[in-house]
Amino acid sequence: MNSWLTIPIDSDFSIHNLPFGIFSIGKKAPRVGVRIGDFVIDLEQLRKFGLLAVPRNVCNQASLNAFINLGKKKTSAIRLQLQDWLVQEKSPLKKYFNQAFYPIESVKMHLPVKVGDYTDFYSSLEHATNVGKLFRPDNPLVANWKHVPIAYHGRASSIVVSGTPIIRPKGQIKPADSPTPIFSPTKEMDFEVEIGAIIGKNSVLGESISTAEAESYLFGLVLFNDWSARDIQRWEYQPLGPFLGKNFASSISAWVVMMEALEHFRTETPPQDPQPLPYLAFEGKKNFDIELSVRLNIDATHSHTISQTNFRYMYWNLAQQIAHHTVNGCNLKIGDILASGTISGPVAGSNGCLLELSMGGKQPIDAGNGLQRTFLEDNDTLIIEGYCEKEGIRVGFGEVSGKIVASH
């Protein structure tokens, strides 16, 4: 399938992708757009020209929530129609190219959804094992880990779009050589490579979602960086779990890749032993082969890759996460985000955070140009990229980035 629009051969945003996002240009209000190659298609303009049969006050909104609320049947049809028009030689889009297509460098991207609730899972066996070894060398996995998709409820208000600066958080820290805690900016600023799932349909309070129907509640996926202050987290996490060490910021990529665009990249979930309880049983390929890489930019002159991993390694898949999240009757709403938890792999260099890469800060890693890091320093920029590629088809997420700035 080839488009009449010139698309770079290595573009994340091929004709097979067509993700949705929120953009603005100049002083115009934010609205819904679709990414194709190095261009953004203005869906509100297409509606005004009579090409899209969608209600008013859907494509001119500052979030995708109203668009998602049209339902998967409608949103999928719009994506397929655009895909068809982008390959037709006599496409109606050509007539409105100058009025509805904007070069990506001319637009500003915004948070794609209004996030009502955010849940962060802990679904990578390798990550849980590696972190557990730092604190419990002889018994790294807690007793419930292979029975329950562990998660905590995060803070939706501090989720920001890629490119937003991240202010170094302050809080209580308990130095190893002090009998009492101190108040300080974090000295152990970290990232976590994750995938965020955008909920695309409301569920009913009091009802559970099965693994078989779970994916019908997903609109699409984004890259997710769960920024973490490890020293603050270490002092506060017992007995109720993460709080200030996590809720100061999480970053997501600007474009939501629809689940339909990822069908070609399904893969098997790793073996689960012991067998989960019946409500977590599933059939079919529920993981996705998404290549992920992490780059650290210490200054404007160099960029160094510090990790490469893959979403296919996840022990608990998206369907199981949704089934467990709702088994007690908890309801999901459009725009909610379920983050996967840190994605680490079984091979060297596939760790999804600095806590693992630097062995808890004890072994500095190579940051390029003869520099080292144990944790992130002020003015460091951390970039996560992700894409799928198979049989000549490439579908990518672009990037999620953030620059660390000093505490105020």
Catalytic positions: 127
342 is in an annotated binding site: yes
Contact 300, 384 (CB under 8 A): no
Cα distance between residue 40 and residue 19, in whole Å: 10
136 is in an annotated binding site: yes
Q: What is the DSSP letter of 256?
A: B
Q: Considering only CA atoms, which of 89, 86, 8, 101 is closest in space to residue 46?
A: 101
Q: Which residues are paired to 161 by β-bridges? A: 252
Strands 250-252 and 159-161: parallel
Cα distance between residue 77 and residue 263, in whole Å: 16
Helix ranges (DSSP H) in 301-376: 318-326, 354-357
Helices (H) and strands (E) in the chain, counts: 9, 26
105 is in an annotated binding site: no
Cα distance between residue 92 and residue 109, in whole Å: 26
Cα distance between residue 134 and residue 289, in whole Å: 29
Cα distance between residue 367 and residue 362, in whole Å: 15
Neighbours of 347 (CB within 10 A): 12
Cα distance between residue 63 and residue 223, in whole Å: 17
336 is in an annotated binding site: no
Helix ranges (DSSP H) in 199-350: 211-214, 230-236, 318-326
233 is in an annotated binding site: yes
Cα distance between residue 138 and residue 179, in whole Å: 27
246 is in an annotated binding site: yes
Neighbours of 254 (CB within 10 A): 25
Contact 219, 262 (CB under 8 A): no
250 is in an annotated binding site: yes
Contact 264, 288 (CB under 8 A): no
Phi and psi at residue 308, to the nearest 5°: -140, 125
Cα distance between residue 221 and residue 404, in whole Å: 25
122 is in an annotated binding site: yes
237 is in an annotated binding site: yes
Binding site residues for substrate, as ranges? 122, 136, 233, 237, 342
Binding site residues for Ca(2+), as ranges? 120, 192, 194, 226
Binding site residues for Mg(2+), as ranges? 226, 246, 250
